Structure 1
């Protein structure tokens, strides 16, 4: 990558010291100072002869003094040490000593104290007014700000031209990476890495790869919250900047940048313009996705209507065909605010696994068809906080039955936390167990009402007796043992139940009907 390097926002100390006409002389040798001491920025020049000027200073400033505070009463090593320690703790960029005003030359003790604390110390000759140093620093700041503004406009123009290329989004992100000298990554609505620039940014770079992994984790958290947000993270190796794309509750992804230095205001302005362009491009892709969604829904209805070959031909031209039989059908009902994110996620999976996944909307539901190799994809749907029902394996000619199975499984899944329920789980429990989760409960309560009303009015246990009796296959002895009563008592109670229900419970049909009624009302635990 050949970055279009942006000029710094503030002049480095080295450049100020080299300004012609100032005749500033560095008294602390660069080799004796901390690395980069002369490259730190200078944002202002201030003069003061106070013993403690730090309340009136800020970080990255240059302090000028004539030394009036260094009187005969204060010129001790302890005073110089305390003076320079306060300046170092504040983080000033440089100390300048004006000679021939109060005293000749710069005190050796001050030079030693500055060296001990790593503060660059320069001598300002009598012929150089302090105002000249301040003016020179101001001119450098103005020059760099103009250069920075010029770079920002040029960078934004280059990025805007990149957006006009055939693959505008990729070209825009690639140009952003080149202009800033940072890597740029785009994460899709599911939090998966969609693309990264430069494309070889992480080849053999373990530290940067770790930063990308950190960015992906943070992007996933931002997307799960479903709100527009920005985030800056310093992971030790690099500084990361993340920004969601899209509207609240309709996030299209996250843009992430990483580099060894944080973005300044000019860099942030360039990123802001890219966020607007990327958001627009993703919105356009979403509009196209909606059109494709309508076509998918039409193909699903064609399949359900038996026109499998027609649907297969159209799908093959657009998405690589249908999954190979036998297939499983999954159904989920996402909330409206998550529908777009879910369909975008599925669209990306279709592109990645053409011919293994097909999906379509059916009313408020999303129907997903997968072959055996794409089954793990269904587990990703739970990450959206969804309930999912899955059919048994089926041929396309049995698609309506498979869809019905998936819907029944979805009803069961919606009874608990988000997760997947397969139809085979329901079928293993049997038909009667399913009655407890259908509208049969009202019918069951009505069928048993004469017995339950009698129990409530007279304090009897006829309903519990008939339940235990049926569990014991209609045998009076075992039922009596289970209830702790005499078998004649059980026989009498069953006779009373038959009278109340006006039914003969000696037949299998009648017993099965009462058992189903008990089960549908919750009178028998489902197995």
Structure 2
């Protein structure tokens, strides 16, 4: 039976036995695979015409040998030994032209080729071997040149991005364009650090990431091609092309060029002060807080990042004035699974993922107490939203925790706050912050504080005193202590404030009005 073949991939830097047999000139010889059909995807390095029985000693591996077998006719032992010698030399395949020496496929060669797993192809019609060698050699040269050209093109593009200080994501986007498939960067624990490619395709890959990643392992089957990331004898991750539709050799080339660029990017600092792990968490939590991407679409990313998500209780926290590295260390010490990401210069989000039978409130308090015990600073605030058992509710919880943290940010030292601050603890501050964008509230704040909003240093100092004085419930001793001034000095400043604003701060209603205006003013500055 004559085989049928798929057309060769012209972007492949090498040719396989299968692709050579699909060439028009070869098809003219009516090829038939009579043995070793399971090995037709072997790469062919060269095509060699040889009639010598001991041709195997002249080969270096990867050759397709063309022969008429004229010196093998009539001797089955020589025929079998000929196939075995080619197998020992790691030849890619042998092509036998049927004719005077062998009018039909020889059984001895066929049996030996089947035992060795060496593709044996016979040509039923006369065929000029010189045409085939010329065709294949020229194609191999062109493809090798194309491979070098592609390699240099990718390297140049990625190097240019690194030189320009591009972030990791920009490099991966470039790799995804060249590979035409999702690109995933992981650490050694298979946790996803970054992705690129068409969003729906990436989500399909991440949906069952742990199983897929471990199943793919180190193989390049089914278009899963990976390259190790590391340097100086130490591995720290890998980049994977997921479902690459092109040939394996091109995929490996792209993965290798990408790996080289990522290692260089990391060595040079990656254009960011954050590690890739931190950037991954930051991207995920920022997307959750913003609400631009539906939470359900972010679930595969969270799972792939190593956050437990099945039947869990999620505790959204936002911490002001603490280092993300410190928060991550405390989570590890307490054995609490979670993600940590810096949202702004002073604000860090922490998303805890707890088992359903764990006490979420107690563990959040334990985390906050440990943070305060480490002398994180008098202004450090741990704000929390209520625990969520549904993933879709996490974004609302994070925004609530952020709102609480921002509401007390500027007066944390003056307020008697609990270890974990919640919405019920911010009272009027929370309401005013929600209304900060209302034009009427903005106008009210400007009108009430007009005498202190000139913007010079003295005004800023007086505003700070006023803020503390009102936040402490008009406690003069506490205010003087916090501002490191004597009582007489504080009295002079309070008198200046009342004169500037034209109010009597001993009058409850006037003090309350100024307090609300100041809360609104501070909220508008955030």
Larger radius of gyration between Structure 1 and Structure 2: 1
TM bucket (normalised to shorter chain) is: 0.3 to 0.5
TM-score (norm 2): 0.43
- What is the TM-score with the length of structure 1 in the denominator? 0.43
